[in-house]
Structure formats: structure tokens, C-alpha cells
Structure 1
Amino acid sequence: MTITTLGRTVPREFRSRETARLFATFADLAEHEREAVIEQIVVLNIQVAHAIARRYQNRGVPVEDLEQVACLALVRAAQRFDHTMDRDFLSYAVPTMTGEVKRYFRDHGWTIRPPRRIQEIQSRVIAEHKQGTVDGRPPTPREIAERLELDIDDVTEALSAAVCFQPISIDQAVEADSMDSLADFLTVDDQGPQDAAEARALLAPVLKKLTRDEVRLLAMTYAQGMTQQQIGEAIGVTQMTISRRLTRIIARLRGELGIDLRAVA
């Protein structure tokens, strides 16, 4: 019996029953005949492989590549499965496919590769963050750290690492309601290194007067390139709160540096 299910939805009960029946025929088959049966088993369960791959779509790796990885893992699982054990095939194949997709995603999905410890916890942290809390707000890094029994600094870094999957486009607006893009602020300047050194020397004593949270907020904005929405989600506050905090911090810095805002305007 040939199973032609590619492109069609197969009921779970039928898939499980038919997969078990096909494996049960192995004892009476020659090696080349078993290969044909394995092909039928793969086609019968291929929708499961695609479903596993789609869990990781829109994260910087084409879903077609992830589906291919999951399907190859499905083939290997079918070839290695011990049909003599009283065990459902997918209870063995699903962890195999998931592990292969995660491994591929870990190795190919990072545009900027964070530390290994952050890579290993990032998916758990993001999943916990998306679940939200009882009142509907995103959980704070501290709440996530307590739930997952992780260090709060690692949780914060893992939340920030979400932008490492795909680089931020220079055509992206600097604010949600702004017509200015990041490209508008990029210039080619041979004085760049010298100006940067002068800026560091000028800002160093002023930045020392800021709190640790204020310095972290500036780093997330200007060093890590995070949007105010992303920072708010990472910290557990609204985008408007982040905007107000940044405005106050920049106003303080300008005041410390003696910059006349009216003259700048």
C-alpha cells in the first residue's frame, strides 16, 4: 500500500496507526524493500516535520531551509527507529527533528553571535516573555529570571539578543511616528576616529554622574541599537516610559555639558 499524503492533511490517528503497520512489515522484507517502506513512512509524517520547522520561522533563517533540516532528521529517525519496541514512532522522531532544527538554527541563525550561554537560554527566555503575566503586561527580566532560575543579567542579555538574528535595516525609522531613518544620521567623515576620542573624553566625567540604570538605557539605545519598544519589553515598561526617561537623561547630559537647547533648536 503506497501512502500519497504529500500536500494533504492526514488525521493523527490514521498517521499513527498506518506508521505502526508499516514498521510491523519490516520483519518480512528485504533491505531494498525496507527502503521503500521508510519512504512511505517519511511521506506519511512529513507534515509533522514541517510543523516543527515553522515554530522557528521569521527568525532570520528561511523556513524552507528549516523544513529541509527537519525532513532529513525525519528520514534518519525512520532509518534508526527500533520497530521491535512498544513505542510510538513520533515519540522518538519529534525530539530528533526538534534537536536538529534547534542545532541548525543555533549555528546559522545568528547575524551577530552572542555568548554561548546566552544562545542556550535565549529561546526559553523569549518563550517565557511572550507568555505574559496574569494582568496582561510583559514579565520583567527579574520575573523571568525567577521563573527559569537564571541570573537576571543573563536574562536581560538574552532579551536584547533578539536583534542578533536579523540586523536592523538602516531604512528603519528612528521612531514609530518619525519620517527620519537611521540612514539619515549616517555620514562619511574622515575625522570620525578623532571626534569619537574627543567625545569619549568629554562625556566620561558626565556619564559617571548617571545611575547604573541610566547608563544601561543609553547603552541599549545607542550601543545595541534597540528601539524604545524593544527596550520597554526587555525592562518591563511601556515605550512611552522609555521615551520620557531618555528625554530626561539627554537633557541632563546637555545641561552638564553646557549645551543651550534653545541655541541648538
Structure 2
Amino acid sequence: MTVTEAVETRTVVLPEIADPSKIAPKDARELSKLFFDRLAVLEEGTPEYQYARNTLIEMNITLVRFAAARFRSRSQDEMEDIVQVGTIGLIKAIDRFDLTREVEFTSFAVPYIVGEIKRFFRDTSWAVHVPRRLQEARVQLAKATEELRSRLGRTPTVKELSQLMCLSEEEVNEARLASNGYTSSSLDATLSSSDDGEAALAHFIGAEDTALELVEDFTTLAPLLAELDDRERHIIHLRFVDELTQAQIGERLGVTQMHVSRLLSRTLAKLREGMLTTR
């Protein structure tokens, strides 16, 4: 292209396109060159610039659908997310593309789109956080397992996998364990049961027994109680087993309520000190 032709191209008014997303890929490639050339000389933020940029995005949305087709095994909801994320990659490609590189925009954009989608999977698909090293080992493990299963006609052993993957058996087991973090199940998910029909997964998960926290206290307290004299143990029994008031205990023992209070305080302090010392 001569300088004169370049100037003429840059002064051309961009055509109004009613629905850029419906333009055929071949036509989109030709029109994209015109829009990119015009975009390079327009001032960012102006209506003309926004029109050129938005039209480029819509004209090339087929590239996103092309890249997303690689992940067609995903659910419909996931595919919608994939297209949205892929569109972000397309926008990045448009903002960074330079016609002077003499590279087809499609060749330049697809790696951006696929890279954005893969980054999305890496950052969001794992149910729990797993180190990048183990995420990559999981993919390697899946490929090695499938290859050996086809070759051997059975599920490969850890030793066979470690030899093919050039990893230790411990690393293979670690990768297998990491695979459990890729997906998670809802606690409301139903499980079949031969006795009760269907039951939620949450029904099979044990709850924390708060009484277990008292086991250690009881174990520590028992020998300390045995060290008390008969009167101290009797007062403790009346207060905390029979649940009598201090006044009622005083009537039974023939002492004042104040005296019972002092005896209780002294005995409890002794037990408390003993428990703290034991721990």
C-alpha cells in the first residue's frame, strides 16, 4: 500500500453495520482490516472509536464460539461462562493487535481467547485450592491413565503410571488425591439407599458432639475428686448432683449458708487449681 492509499483509507468513513455478529467470517476478515486501520488513528474514547472497537468485537465473536467449541462437553451454563470469558480474550486481542505486524487477526486472537478460557478453568474449576503443580499433574495423570488403559485393557497400577509419567509413585498418589479437589458435591445431593429410598448427602455426615469436649475434663477431674475428704465430696454431691441450694445444704449439715459458701469456694478453687496444673 502506498502512502497515498494509506491516507485515503484512513479518511474513509466506516460503514454502518446493522448486526455485525451476522457477518460471514470471510467478510469479517476483510472488514476487520478496514476497522483496525481506522481504529489506529481515531482518538480513544470518542464515539467513532467506540463504534469501531465494538463493531470489531461483534464481527469477530465467531472466533470465540470457535474456541469455545473445544469445550462442548461442558454444561450449558458453563458454556455461557466460557463464551463470556472468551470474549474478554477477544477484546484483549483487539486492543493489542497491530496491522503492521502483517499477521492475520484470527491467528493473533485465538491464542488470547483460548488462554483466557484456560485461565478461567484454572482459577475457578477447582472446588478447593490445589497448587498449580498438582493441577498440571492431574491432567498428566488423566492422559497417562487413558493411554495405559487402552494399551493394557485394564486399569493401570500406580507403578505403571509413575514409569510413564516419569514421576515417583508418591507423586502419582498425590496427583490422584488432588483430583478429588476438582469437583464437589452439594450437601443436598440425593443418594440412593436400599432401606430408606433417597436421602441427602448431609444425612450421612456426622455432627460434632459437644459432649466430647467434656470427656477430657471428666478424666482430669475424677482423681482430684477422689483426693477430697468425705465432707468436701459430700458437699459437692449435694450441690451439683442433688442440686440443693446453699441454704438447704446448710440445714442438712447444721451449719450456716455462709459457711457452706466458704467450703464450696475453697473446694472448687482446689479442684480448679488441680485441673490447671494437670493440663
The TM-score with structure 1 as length reference comes to 0.53
The AA in structure 2 aligned to 1:75 is I
Structure 1 equivalent of residue 19 of structure 2: 4
Q: Deviations over 1:194-239 (max 9, x none)?
A: 8xxxxxxxxxxxxxxxxxxxxxxxxxxxxxxxxxxxxxxxxxxxxx
Q: Work out whether residues 20 and 88 of structure 1, in 8 Å CA contact, stay in contact via their aligned partners in 2.
A: no
Count, aligned residues: 191
Q: Distance in 1 between matches of 2:170 and 2:178?
A: 12
For 1:15 and 1:125, the matched residues in 2 are separated by: 41
RMSD: 4.2
* Equivalent of residue 78 in structure 1, options 91, 94, 98: 94
Report % sequence identity: 27
Output the CA distance in 2 between the equivalents of 1:136 and 1:85: 50
Alignment of 1:23-102 (within 5 A): 23-26=36-39, 29=42, 31=44, 32=46, 33-53=48-68, 55=71, 58=74, 62-102=78-118
Which has the larger Rg?
2
Cα deviation, residue 73, structure 1: 2.1
Deviation at 1:111, TM superposition (A): 2.0
Task: Answer yes or no: is the 8 Å Cα contact 1:3–1:40 preserved in 2.
Answer: no
Corresponding residue for residue 182 of structure 2: 165
Listed as ranges, the gaps of 5+ residues in structure 2 are 1-14, 214-279
Which structure 2 residues correspond to residues 101-250 of structure 1 after superposition, within 5 A? 101-126=117-142, 129=145, 133=150, 149-170=166-187, 171-173=189-191, 179=197, 181=199, 182-188=201-207, 190=209
Flag structure 1 segments of 5+ consecutive residues without an equivalent: 195-265
Indicate if the aligned counterparts of 2:23 and 2:59 stay in contact, CA closer than 8 A: no
**Secondary structure of the residue that 2:53 maps to in structure 1?**
helix
Query: How far 1:84 sits from its partner (Å)?
Result: 1.0
TM-score computed with the length of structure 2 as normaliser: 0.51
Shift of 1:81: 0.7
Change (3 A) 1:161 1:49: farther
Residues 1:153 and 1:67: Cα distance change in structure 2 (over 3 Å):
farther
**1:78/1:167 CA distance change after superposition, 3 Å:** same
Shift of 1:75: 1.0
Cα pair distance change 1:138/1:175, threshold 3 Å: farther
Q: Secondary structure at the match of 2:191?
A: coil
C-alpha distance 173-72 of structure 1, shift in aligned 2 (>3 A): same
Bigger RCO (CA 8 Å, 6+ sep): 1
